[in-house]
Amino acid sequence: MLSENVEKILNKQIADEAYSSRLYLAMAVWCDHSSLSGAAHFFYHQSDEERGHMKRIIQYVNRVGGRVVISDTKGPPVEYKSLKDVIEEAYEHEKSMTVAIVKLVDTSLEKKDYATFDFLQWFVTEQVEEEAMLKSLLDRFNLVGTDAHGTFIMDKEMGSREA
Ligand code: FEO
């Protein structure tokens, strides 16, 4: 049985994951429009993953007898200055998602909701991986340079993403 507080912040996390999916979709669209097809592939994939995160929480809340509320999400930004700008924004976004997950973990422990605490461990690991992936992209971008040549190389690399 979910406490009211845990149910509320799980619903907030559902909305945040939905926003993440839309944010990455908007980034993919910008990349596609800018002829950066590799980066577009990367962010379309990331958008699908975030939708998967949203569904994972929805199914958990239903499984433990909570009530899911699907709320409106704000529209993500549509304009970016460069591919490097897109990746930086994505990295900052993931850092804020980690803060939200940590808050959820804290609340589940506070409420002695060990089932939710256990459920959230997958997200804790996922956040470590997502932050590391974006940080590594940024580091490599800085190594190759952020001019047109560097952008071309990074776009190609991002296009090889499989999972
Ligand atoms: Fe579902 Fe990338 O946080």
* Element of type H or E holding 41: helix 37-63
pTM above 0.85, yes or no: yes
CB 3 within 8 A of CB 36: no
**What pLDDT is recorded for position 100?**
97
Does residue 7 have its Cβ closer than 6 Å to ligand 1? no
**How many Å lie between the centroid of ligand 1 and the Cα of residue 23?**
11
Whether 97 lines ligand 1, by a CB cut-off of 6 Å, is yes
pLDDT in tens, the chain (163 residues): 788 889 999 999 999 999 999 999 999 999 999 999 999 999 999 999 999 999 999 999 999 999 999 998 889 999 999 999 999 999 999 999 999 999 999 999 999 999 999 999 999 999 999 999 999 999 999 999 989 999 999 999 999 988 6
Nearest CA to ligand 1 atom 1: 50
